[in-house]
Chain A
Amino acid sequence: MTETVTASGRRLDWQLAQVREIAVETFRVKSLLLHVPGWQGHLPGQHVDIRLTAEDGYQAQRSYSISSPPEEELLTLTVEKVDNGEVSPYLVGDLRARDQFELRGPIGRYFVWTVATGGPLWLIAGGSGIAPLMAMLRHRARQKARIPALLLYSSRSLEDVIYREELDAMASHDPDLRVVNILTRKQPTGWAGPRRRIDKGLLADACFPPSQSPKIFVCGPASLVEAVSSLLVELEHDPLAIKTERFGPSGAVS
Chain B
Amino acid sequence: MTENDSDLVLDGNAAAGLLQEIFALEITTAQIQCDTCDSVGAVGSLRLYAAPMGAVLRCQHCDARLMTAVRTPHGRWLQMTGARRLRFQRRTGTA
Q: Which residues of B contact A41 (CB under 8 A)?
A: 95
Label chain A's interface by main secondary structure: loop
Stretch at the interface among A161-169, A194-202, A238-246: A238-246
The reply to whether A246 and B28 form a contact with Cβ atoms under 8 Å apart is: no
Q: Report how many residues on chain A are interfacial, defined by Cβ distance under 8 Å.
A: 40
The reply to whether B25 and A253 form a contact with Cβ atoms under 8 Å apart is: no
Closest beta carbon of chain B to A218's beta carbon, Å: 11
Q: Which residues of B contact A84 (CB under 8 A)?
A: 1
Residue of B nearest to A42 (CB): B95
Q: Does A104 contact B (CB under 8 A)?
A: yes
Q: Does A108 contact B (CB under 8 A)?
A: yes
The reply to whether A111 and B13 form a contact with Cβ atoms under 8 Å apart is: yes
Closest beta carbon of chain A to B61's beta carbon, Å: 10
Cross-chain contact of B45 among A49, A70, A243, A248 (Cβ < 8 A):
A243
Per-residue CB contact flags for chain A residues 73-88 toward chain B (1 = under 8 Å, else 0) read 0000000000110000
Q: Report how many residues on chain B are interfacial, defined by Cβ distance under 8 Å.
A: 39
The reply to whether A252 and B6 form a contact with Cβ atoms under 8 Å apart is: no
Q: Does A254 contact B (CB under 8 A)?
A: yes
* Given A63-B17, A253-B51, A253-B52: A222 touches B29 (CB 8 Å cut-off): no
Give the CA-CA distance A41 to B94 in the complex, in Å: 10
Residue of A nearest to B71 (CB): A254
Give the CA-CA distance A185 to B4 in the complex, in Å: 16
Q: Which residues of B contact A222 (CB under 8 A)?
A: 4, 6-10
The reply to whether B91 and A248 form a contact with Cβ atoms under 8 Å apart is: no
Q: Which of B16, B18, B24, B53 has the most CB of A within 10 A?
A: B16
Give the CA-CA distance A7 to B8 in the complex, in Å: 32
Known contacts A109-B89, A243-B42, A251-B10; 18 further A-B pairs (Cβ under 8 A): A5-B24, A6-B25, A7-B25, A7-B26, A42-B95, A49-B17, A70-B95, A108-B28, A109-B26, A110-B12, A110-B29, A222-B6, A222-B7, A246-B11, A249-B1, A251-B14, A253-B15, A253-B55
A-B contact pairs, 20 of them (CB 8 A): A6-B26, A7-B26, A7-B91, A47-B13, A107-B20, A110-B16, A110-B43, A110-B44, A222-B6, A223-B6, A244-B11, A245-B44, A246-B9, A248-B14, A251-B14, A252-B14, A252-B51, A252-B52, A253-B14, A253-B15
